[in-house]
Amino acid sequence: MRRVGYWLESLEHIGALITRPLRWFVLIMVLTTVAVVVLRYALETGAIFLQESVMYLHGLFFMLALAFGIAQDTHVRVDILYNRMSSKRRNQVNLIGHCVFLLPMAALIFLASLPYVSASWRVLEGSAEVGGIPAVFLLKSLLPVTALLLWLQGLASSAALVRQLIDTDT
Amino acid sequence: MLELIPLLLFIVTFGMLLTGYPVAITLAGVALIFAGVGIVTGTFNANDLGFVPGRLFGVITNQTLIAVPLFVFMGLLLEKTKIAESLLSNLSDLLGHFRGGLAIIVVLVGMLMAASTGIVGATVVTMGMMSLPIMLQRNYDPSLATGTIAATGTLGQIIPPSIALVLLGDVLSNAYQQAQLNMGIFAPKSVSVGDLFAGALLPGLLLVLLYLLYLVVRSFTTPDAMPQRPKTTTISLRSTLGALLPPLALMVVVLGSIIAGYATPTEAAGVGAMGALLLALIYRKLDVETLRETCTASMSTTAMVFFILIGASIFSLVFRGFGGDEIVQELFTNMPGGVWGALAIVMLVIFLLGFILDFIEITFVVVPIVGPVLMAMGVDPVWLGVLIAVNLQTSFLTPPFGFALFYLRGVAPDSVATAAIYKGVIPFIALQLVLLALLLLWPALATWLPSVLYG
């Protein structure tokens, strides 16, 4: 049982692995946006491809970081009561929340996005703009991927919380 | 009975939020449980959940919201490279020997910082850590010092180009489109983030002016509360200007280009972030470690903002699926006092929600529900946006639940009594209520500048 728990907890490393390169995306977004501005105002040429690449970077940047935010506990809480709880009570809140809210939410986004994404894959949906990036089907695939990451993170965090709760009881 | 379900959804959600589980997931989670029960009992159409992926993809591809990570990066870089901090210390060297000079500087620097980050907690904590020790060390009255810092920290709601106004502008724009479509107008007028920036500029500056006037008056009526510092060192005007002008120019360029309509918020945010990078390079405060920290913090903050947006859009989808928007509409149209009655109720609810939720959550959860109804009743979108911003700012400052007060308490030394903080913010709350009253009396205060600029 414990071994399964540790294995589940180790799923958390996926998030850390992804975000190590991911955090630099914001810097690339800044540089690319400046390039778009220079092209548009100085050289008076549009740069749809560059402009859309900022959108792709942006989408990857926050979607793939959602699960990591749970691991790092950087998502906002209403902390009026939470701050006064014992660490055991907090673990209980988080464990119940993961099971009742997080896992169903991730499952719903995953299941609901499958038909949406597969319709896009079937026609290899491209950009609505001329000269845009022809990979909207890949961008849409972010939805099930994010949902899967959230689900795995939910399992990993829950396993860690169960272990901590058992350890504090014994 | 059925019409009570949306109300119940609201109540249960806010009850669950109080447990302290992350807001974004709670919003979506509670809504989905309601939807599940609704599907089983035949009161909710399961097909409505099929709109979830489309909504979420809309969040990813929303062009205006791309400005958020760029603005976050700019603000965090200015904070982590301590450019804002050196601005404060330079200015206090220059003006510190005037009575009340230090407090006035804190307001001015806080205004610039608030505009660049727009996140209440971040501004209050940074300003508190930066300026409270200096003010206490110079024997400022703790109550006056903490009041000034807390009030200044909340300016981020109203001084453009803050993230709060970008988010609010985007939500208002969608609500405005929907209001007009509901009224059968199929060539709807639009309202942009630029409109809201322009609308918030005069009220924001007026509020800063009111703060400064108050401080000047206090410097005459209670001079002991803000002691002068003897002029010891002579500081060259040139070195001060050298420290002051670049960050100021950055703000003016970013804000000016958006309001003048030259650049989209996203472009201006990108250029602003580039400007912050260059500033950090010029001041030799940029190294790989700082940059890595800034990027990591930008990632966490951006993910935090967008997760709430995702949770809130699932929540409002379910709320609508249960017919919630029709109930709100019915409630408002039957409200005694018509538009004003409806507006008063919305403002009261937002004020109370401000005790437990931050700007972002309220913008994403409440505005999409009440915005279209109010606008269909004839409320101007820019005016509504500015009212909401000022209202929330007041809420964040009001004891005992105000957000800004918690954050400031967290960084203030124990020698400063909590009661002193409460006492210090009261005059500033009064000033904000004055501004709110002025806005209610003269909506043109908010709507004049956008109408002149954009016709």
What φ, ψ does residue B416 adopt, rounded to 5°? -90, 115
pLDDT (0 to 100) of residue B121? 67
Is residue B139 classed as helix, strand or coil in its secondary structure? coil
Question: Mind telling me how many Å the CA of A6 is from chain B's nearest CA?
Answer: 24
- Mean pLDDT across the stretch B132-145? 86
pLDDT at B338 over 90: no
pLDDT at B175 over 80: yes
Q: Is A3 on the interface with B (CB under 8 A)?
A: no
pLDDT (0 to 100) of residue B336? 80
Interface test with A, best of B66, B291, B407 (most A CBs within 10 A): B66
Polymer length in residues for chain B: 455
Nearest CA-CA partner of B312 in B68, B3, B36, B22: B22
Contacting residues of B for A115, CB less than 8 Å apart: 50
Scan residues 54-73 of A and list those with Cβ closer than 8 Å to B.
54-55, 58-59, 61-63, 65-66, 68-70, 72
Band the pLDDT of B390: cuts 50, 70, 90. very high
Contacting residues of B for A86, CB less than 8 Å apart: none
The shortest CB-CB distance from A54 to any of B36, B60, B66 is to B66
pLDDT at B165 over 80: yes
Q: Is A95 on the interface with B (CB under 8 A)?
A: no
Question: Mind telling me how many Å the CA of A132 is from chain B's nearest CA?
Answer: 13
pLDDT (0 to 100) of residue A46? 73
Q: State whether B53 and A117 contact (CB < 8 Å).
A: yes
pLDDT at B42 over 90: no
pLDDT (0 to 100) of residue B31? 94
pLDDT (0 to 100) of residue B117? 61
- DSSP 8-state symbol, B42: T
Nearest CA-CA partner of B446 in B202, B255, B261: B202
Chain A: residue nearest B36 by CA? A104
pLDDT (0 to 100) of residue B256? 74
Contacting residues of B for A121, CB less than 8 Å apart: none
Question: Mind telling me how many Å the CA of A146 is from chain B's nearest CA?
Answer: 11
Q: Is A24 on the interface with B (CB under 8 A)?
A: yes
How confident is the model over B185-220, as pLDDT tens digits? 777 778 888 889 889 999 999 999 999 999 999 888
Q: State whether A109 and B356 contact (CB < 8 Å).
A: no
Q: Is A140 on the interface with B (CB under 8 A)?
A: yes
Measured over all CA atoms, what is the biggest interatomic distance in chain B, rounded to whole angstroms? 78
In the numeric block, the tokens 């749809």 are attached to A48
pLDDT (0 to 100) of residue B231? 61
Q: Is A10 on the interface with B (CB under 8 A)?
A: no
Measuring CA to CA, how many Å separate B208 from each of A133, B108, B153, B450?
A: 45, 8, 12, 20
pLDDT (0 to 100) of residue B363? 87
pLDDT (0 to 100) of residue A106? 96
How confident is the model over B223-256, as pLDDT tens digits? 888 777 666 555 666 766 776 777 777 777 777 7
pLDDT (0 to 100) of residue B387? 93
How confident is the model over A21-32, as pLDDT tens digits? 999 999 999 999
Average predicted confidence (pLDDT) for chain B: 84
Q: Which range, A72-76, B118-122, B242-246, has the best average confidence (pLDDT)? A: A72-76
What φ, ψ does residue B46 adopt, rounded to 5°? -60, -25
pLDDT (0 to 100) of residue A114? 94
pLDDT at B152 over 80: yes
Cα Rg, chain A, nearest whole Å: 20
pLDDT (0 to 100) of residue B147? 93
pLDDT (0 to 100) of residue B232? 56
Contacting residues of B for A76, CB less than 8 Å apart: 22-24, 304, 308, 358, 360-361
What φ, ψ does residue B138 adopt, rounded to 5°? -90, 20
How confident is the model over B408-454, as pLDDT tens digits? 887 788 888 888 888 999 999 999 999 999 999 999 888 888 888 77
- Mean pLDDT across the stretch B22-30? 93
Contacting residues of A for B273, CB less than 8 Å apart: 30, 33
DSSP notation for B316-330: HHHHHHTTHHHHHHH
pLDDT (0 to 100) of residue B236? 65
Q: State whether A23 and B299 contact (CB < 8 Å).
A: yes
pLDDT (0 to 100) of residue B1? 62
Q: pLDDT exceeding 70 applies to what percent of chain A?
A: 99
Question: Mind telling me how many Å the CA of A7 is from chain B's nearest CA?
Answer: 25
Is residue B409 classed as helix, strand or coil in its secondary structure? helix
Q: Is A121 on the interface with B (CB under 8 A)?
A: no
Question: Mind telling me how many Å the CA of B1 is from chain A's nearest CA?
Answer: 26
Identify the weakest region by mean pLDDT among B78-87, B289-298, B374-383: B78-87
Chain A: residue nearest B406 by CA? A80
**ipTM of predicted assembly, 2 dp:** 0.94
Look at B288 and A170; give whichever has higher pLDDT. B288
How many C-alpha atoms does B218 have within 13 Å on its Cβ side? 24
DSSP notation for B254-296: HHHHHHTTSS-HHHHHHHHHHHHHHHHHHTT---HHHHHHHHH
pLDDT (0 to 100) of residue B120? 66
Q: pLDDT exceeding 90 applies to what percent of chain B?
A: 24
Q: Is A33 on the interface with B (CB under 8 A)?
A: yes
The shortest CB-CB distance from A26 to any of B28, B295, B305 is to B295
CB–CB of A31/B291 below 8 Å?
Answer: no
The shortest CB-CB distance from A109 to any of B22, B56, B63 is to B56
Look at B250 and A152; give whichever has higher pLDDT. A152
Question: Mind telling me how many Å the CA of B54 is from chain A's nearest CA?
Answer: 8
Q: State whether A59 and B298 contact (CB < 8 Å).
A: no
pLDDT at B352 over 90: no
Q: pLDDT exceeding 70 applies to what percent of chain B?
A: 94
The shortest CB-CB distance from B70 to any of A19, A30, A55 is to A30
In this structure, the number of other CB atoms found within 10 A of the CB of residue B294 comes to: 28
Question: Mind telling me how many Å the CA of A76 is from chain B's nearest CA?
Answer: 6
Nearest CA-CA partner of B267 in A98, A38, A105, A75: A38
- Mean pLDDT across the stretch B277-282? 88
- The separation between the first and the last C-alpha atoms of chain A, rounded to the nearest angstrom, is 16
The shortest CB-CB distance from B21 to any of A80, A97, A116 is to A97
Identify the weakest region by mean pLDDT among A24-33, B171-180, B324-333: B324-333
pLDDT (0 to 100) of residue B119? 63
Task: Say how far apart CA A89 and CA B230 lie, in whole Å.
Answer: 54
Contacting residues of A for B64, CB less than 8 Å apart: none
pLDDT (0 to 100) of residue A94? 95
Q: Which range, A19-28, B68-77, B97-106, has the best average confidence (pLDDT)? A: A19-28
